[in-house]
């Protein structure tokens, strides 16, 4: 309940395993879910929202059997319950036009090219989730240790917002 | 909603109603109602089934409903009365129950009565015939002289609403506005830069500089905002250290502890101070801004020094040098200059109250008016002020006022044989309970629950020693700030813990030790130093 999840969508099981391994250090604060297709992803997101969790971040491949990644991201952007969710295109194969579409219509905030480095992926996840947390207006303290602490304490300083009594 | 919250709601509500079914000796009806409100507030504040500021607003709401002349309880109830029936000149027939010995109660305006002597002429079935020159055609006699409503003489609801704009709340609002503007124009960060520079790069000196800045800022700004700002300063320091260098833990603890302790230093440092000052004001005792500082600053300095020594001893640095990244320049825009002038002038007027006699709350309105007039702070900042903290304090103040006025505080105090303890033991107990409680609950709440009792005890004259009201109240405020053993004890602790640099046992051991030593220092000062300054 009330957890913020990370979702990775990719048709290659090896990629999903590698991403899950790379993000393992954040797993305790941000459960990592994986889906092998757009259809599976949508089902999974439905479940996440239904159990009262939220989706903070999506890493999405582009070229997949069935619905492609950019179309999936555009569709997700319109979903109720995913307004603040940070979307990242995670691919080596998206063409110029697809990428423009993803930026303009799905509002992706990052593009991570494959092959990727572990450190980059962790940094992107950390940055994006920090932004998600700040924009959602939630108390940032419980999750601060996994995220960009400098940005979050600066947020606390500016907003003077902590959910513990004075 | 979980079971714990439901139980807290049920228990709190039940305790609210309980006193209404009891007839407590020596406690007025309004005292009974106030006792109910006190119990409800205590349960809700401690177990938090609703947010603590919501409980404060609930306190004020219940007071208006049950304790004010405008509330429905008073508006919708009337004391039963009857018109006397003339028999002959100055002889009247009245209901039998109205006669109370050789007198009756005449109902004046709404629920207010006056006793009138009568002499019994004749006793009939349900009525009596009495002779009296006080009765006339227009008067009404109270049918039931023992009616519960008779000693119920509630004040206007403005009395309780006033808590929301109590002078001490305005003082805090002034502090909030200044702090908000300081954050907006980076004054806090730039001051930090300037003050830290002379402390150099030796780890021990860096810790001292960080603690000094933190304590100074948190004396004028919220402890929370100060800690957050200082965390942005220490995170880069920590990043350059070896992961197993224990100095990391030391400075991560130094910031929240210095912020907690620094809050003691001025009236606006932290809300418990307001609760103590507000309650003393209600007793007609004004503590000037500077006078508070004279009481508090020696304690703050001694405790800070102890914390510094303790943390360096337990968490020594491995390296010889700490590099601080202190870049940035003072904002020199017109608005920022206005802020610097207003900030400086306000603080100057606060600490020099003894010279000019302007109360700190009056002075506090100057930054509120000036900074909004010059648009130094605007709608966004105003919306972002910690209004819930002001409301939390207002509830505490309103509760204290009602407890005193209805005689509840004095009644509660009367349950314990204080005279068997020395005055020194009494303040020790109050300080200890305040510090102990505020490890687990909000410092403001701990002060709100304890200060009314301490003040009544001081005012009751039960204690004949030289302990004054002021010391009773002040020790509680200080104690409340010294409870810092747990991550949940204070927001600065919570911020420090959430960085992941610390484990709870680090904080618990150090925090407990600091609380105990701090309290001991406070008691020594209360015994030997404060009496010289007060009275």
Indicate whether B13 pLDDT > 60.
yes
Whether B99 is covered by a domain: the verdict is yes
Residues of B in Cβ contact (< 8 Å) with A160: 180, 183, 222, 224-225, 228, 384-386
Residues B99, B168 within the same domain? no
Q: Are B324 and B237 in contact (CB under 8 A)?
A: yes
- pLDDT recorded at residue B28: 84
Residues B135, B169 within the same domain? no
B91-114 in b/e form (b: 16+ CB < 10 A) is: bbebbebbbeeebbbbbeeebebe
List residues in chain A touching B: CB distance below 8 A: 140-142, 144-145, 149-150, 153-154, 156-160, 162, 164-166
Given B142, B172, B187, the domain boundary residue is B142
Residue that wins the pLDDT comparison between B451 and B468: B451
Residues B240, B97 within the same domain? no
Q: Are B517 and B306 in contact (CB under 8 A)?
A: yes
Residues B121, B193 within the same domain? no
Whether A66 is covered by a domain: the verdict is yes
DSSP codes of every residue in A24-56: GGGTTTS-EEEESSHHHHHHHHHHHHHTT-EEE
Place of tokens 């001025």: B266
A145 and B500 within 8 Å at the Cβ level: the answer is yes
Whether A130 is covered by a domain: the verdict is no
Residues B166, B133 within the same domain? no
**Range list of H helices, B18-84:** 29-47, 52-67, 72-76
Residues B136, B239 within the same domain? no
Residues of B in Cβ contact (< 8 Å) with A156: 224-225, 228, 495
Residues of B in Cβ contact (< 8 Å) with A150: 232, 235-236
Whether B147 is covered by a domain: the verdict is no
- pLDDT recorded at residue B265: 97
Indicate whether B463 pLDDT > 70.
no
Whether A30 is covered by a domain: the verdict is yes
Whether B56 is covered by a domain: the verdict is no
Indicate whether B115 pLDDT > 60.
yes
Residues B97, B126 within the same domain? yes
CA distance B239 to B481: 30
Residues B209, B295 within the same domain? yes
Hey, of A150, A160, A161, A163, which one would you mutate to test binding to chain B, going by the most B CBs within 10 A of its CB? A160
Predicted confidence band of residue A2 (pLDDT cuts 50, 70, 90): confident
CA distance B136 to B91: 10
Q: Are B396 and B441 in contact (CB under 8 A)?
A: no
Burial of B13 (0-12, 13-18, 19+ CB in 10 A): middle
The CATH number of residue B121's host domain is: 2.40.420
ipTM: 0.80
Residue B105 vs residues A40, A139, B141: alpha-carbon distances, Å = 82, 60, 6
Predicted confidence band of residue A165 (pLDDT cuts 50, 70, 90): very low
Whether B401 is covered by a domain: the verdict is no
* Spatial CA neighbour of A65 closest among A8, A9, A11, A7: A11
Show the domain range for B93: 81-142
Q: Are B445 and B395 in contact (CB under 8 A)?
A: no
- Name the least confident of B147-156, B315-324, B372-381, B467-476: B147-156
pLDDT in tens, A129-147: 999 999 988 888 889 889 9
CA distance A165 to B480: 13
Whether A145 is covered by a domain: the verdict is no
* Spatial CA neighbour of A156 closest among B92, B343, B344, B491: B491
Whether B230 is covered by a domain: the verdict is yes
B224 and A154 within 8 Å at the Cβ level: the answer is no
- Name the least confident of A39-48, A148-157, B96-105: B96-105
A166 and B229 within 8 Å at the Cβ level: the answer is no
- pLDDT recorded at residue B461: 66
Residues B126, B267 within the same domain? no
CA distance B212 to B259: 9
Residues B212, B183 within the same domain? yes
B224 and A150 within 8 Å at the Cβ level: the answer is no
How far from the centroid of its chain's Cα atoms is residue B364's Cα?
18
Number of domains in chain B: 2
- pLDDT recorded at residue B462: 63
The CATH number of residue A30's host domain is: 3.40.50.2300
Q: Are B399 and B38 in contact (CB under 8 A)?
A: yes
Once rounded to an integer, what is the mean pLDDT over residues A98-110? 93
**Torsion over CA: B364, B368, B369, B373 (sign):** positive
Residues B123, B173 within the same domain? no
Once rounded to an integer, what is the mean pLDDT over residues A99-112? 93
Residues of A in Cβ contact (< 8 Å) with B394: none
Indicate whether B152 pLDDT > 80.
no
How far from the centroid of its chain's Cα atoms is residue B267's Cα?
11
Computed over every residue of chain B, the mean pLDDT equals: 89
Q: Are B149 and B111 in contact (CB under 8 A)?
A: yes
**Torsion over CA: B279, B284, B287, B289 (sign):** positive
Once rounded to an integer, what is the mean pLDDT over residues B484-500? 91
pLDDT in tens, B22-39: 888 888 888 999 999 999
CA distance B112 to B108: 5
Residues of B in Cβ contact (< 8 Å) with A141: 494-495, 497-498
Residue that wins the pLDDT comparison between B23 and B390: B390
Number of domains in chain A: 1
CA distance A8 to A19: 8
Helix/strand number for chain A, H first, E second: 6, 5
Hey, of A1, A28, A148, A157, which one would you mutate to test binding to chain B, going by the most B CBs within 10 A of its CB? A157
The Cβ of residue B162 has, within 10 Å, a number of other Cβ atoms equal to 17
Show the domain range for A106: 4-118
B236 and A150 within 8 Å at the Cβ level: the answer is yes
Beta-carbon contacts of B321 under 8 Å, excluding residues fewer than 6 positions away, are B201, B202, B203
Quick one: chain B helix, strand, coil %, rounded to 5?
65, 5, 30
Residues of A in Cβ contact (< 8 Å) with B491: 162, 164-166
């Amino acid at each position: 309940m009330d957890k913020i999840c990370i979702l990775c969508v990719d048709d290659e099981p090896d990629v999903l395993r590698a991403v899950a391994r790379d993000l393992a250090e954040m797993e305790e604060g941000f459960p990592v879910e994986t889906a092998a297709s757009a259809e599976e992803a949508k089902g999974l997101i439905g479940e996440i929202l239904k159990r009262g969790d939220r989706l903070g971040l999506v890493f999405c491949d582009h070229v997949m059997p069935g619905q492609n990644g950019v179309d999936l991201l555009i569709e997700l952007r319109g979903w109720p319950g995913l307004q603040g969710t940070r979307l990242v295109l995670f691919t080596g194969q998206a063409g110029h036009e697809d990428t423009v579409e993803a930026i303009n219509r799905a509002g992706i905030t990052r593009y991570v090219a494959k092959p990727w480095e572990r450190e980059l992926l962790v940094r992107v996840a950390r940055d994006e989730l920090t932004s998600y947390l700040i924009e959602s207006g939630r108390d940032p303290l419980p999750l601060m240790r996994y995220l960009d602490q400098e940005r979050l304490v600066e947020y606390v300083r500016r907003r003077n917002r902590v959910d513990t009594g004075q | 909603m979980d079971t714990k919250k439901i139980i807290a709601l049920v228990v709190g509500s039940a305790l609210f109603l309980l006193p209404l079914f009891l007839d407590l000796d020596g406690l007025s009806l309004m005292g009974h109602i106030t006792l109910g409100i006190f119990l409800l507030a205590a349960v809700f504040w401690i177990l938090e089934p609703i947010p603590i500021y919501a409980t404060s607003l609930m306190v004020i709401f219940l007071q208006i409903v049950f304790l004010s002349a405008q509330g429905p309880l008073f508006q919708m109830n009337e004391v039963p009365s009857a018109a006397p029936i003339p028999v002959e000149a100055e002889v009247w027939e009245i209901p039998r129950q109205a006669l109370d010995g050789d007198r009756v109660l005449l109902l004046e305006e709404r629920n207010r009565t006056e006793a009138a002597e009568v002499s019994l002429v004749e006793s009939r079935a349900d009525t009596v015939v009495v002779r009296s020159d006080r009765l006339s055609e227009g008067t009404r006699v109270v049918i039931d002289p023992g009616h519960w409503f008779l000693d119920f003489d509630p004040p206007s609801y403005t009395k309780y609403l006033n808590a929301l704009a109590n002078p001490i709340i305005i003082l805090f609002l002034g502090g909030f506005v200044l702090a908000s503007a300081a954050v907006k124009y980076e004054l806090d960060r730039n001051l930090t830069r300037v003050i830290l520079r002379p402390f150099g790069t030796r780890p021990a000196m860096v810790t001292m500089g960080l603690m000094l800045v933190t304590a100074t800022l948190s004396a004028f700004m919220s402890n929370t905002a100060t800690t957050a700002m200082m965390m942005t300063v220490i995170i880069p320091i920590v990043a350059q250290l070896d992961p197993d260098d224990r100095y990391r833990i030391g400075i991560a603890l130094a910031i929240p502890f210095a912020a907690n302790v620094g809050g003691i230093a001025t009236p606006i440092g932290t809300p418990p101070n307001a609760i103590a000052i507000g309650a003393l004001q209600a007793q007609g005792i004004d503590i000037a801004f500077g006078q508070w500082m004279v009481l508090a600053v020696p304690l703050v300095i001694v405790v800070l020094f102890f914390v510094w020594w303790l943390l360096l001893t337990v968490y020594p640095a491995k390296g010889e040098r700490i590099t601080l990244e202190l870049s940035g320049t003072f904002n020199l825009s017109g608005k920022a200059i206005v802020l610097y002038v207003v900030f400086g002038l306000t603080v100057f007027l606060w600490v020099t109250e003894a010279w000019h006699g302007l109360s700190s709350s009056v002075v506090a309105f100057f930054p509120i008016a000036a900074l909004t007039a010059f648009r130094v702070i605007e709608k966004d900042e105003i919306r972002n002020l910690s209004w819930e903290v002001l409301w939390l304090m207002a509830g505490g103040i309103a509760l204290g006022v009602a407890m005193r006025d209805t005689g509840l505080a004095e009644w509660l105090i009367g349950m314990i044989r204080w005279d068997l303890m020395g005055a020194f033991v009494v303040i020790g107990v109050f300080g200890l309970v305040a510090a102990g409680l505020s490890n687990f609950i909000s410092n403001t709440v701990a002060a709100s629950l304890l200060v009314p009792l301490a003040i009544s005890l001081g005012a009751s004259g039960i204690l004949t020693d030289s302990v004054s009201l002021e010391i009773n109240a002040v020790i509680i405020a200080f104690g409340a700030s010294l409870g810092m053993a747990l991550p949940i004890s204070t927001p600065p602790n919570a911020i420090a813990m959430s960085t992941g640099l610390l484990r709870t046992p680090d904080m618990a051991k150090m925090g407990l030790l600091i609380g105990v030593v701090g309290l001991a220092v406070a008691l020594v000062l209360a015994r030997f130093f404060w009496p010289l300054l007060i009275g």
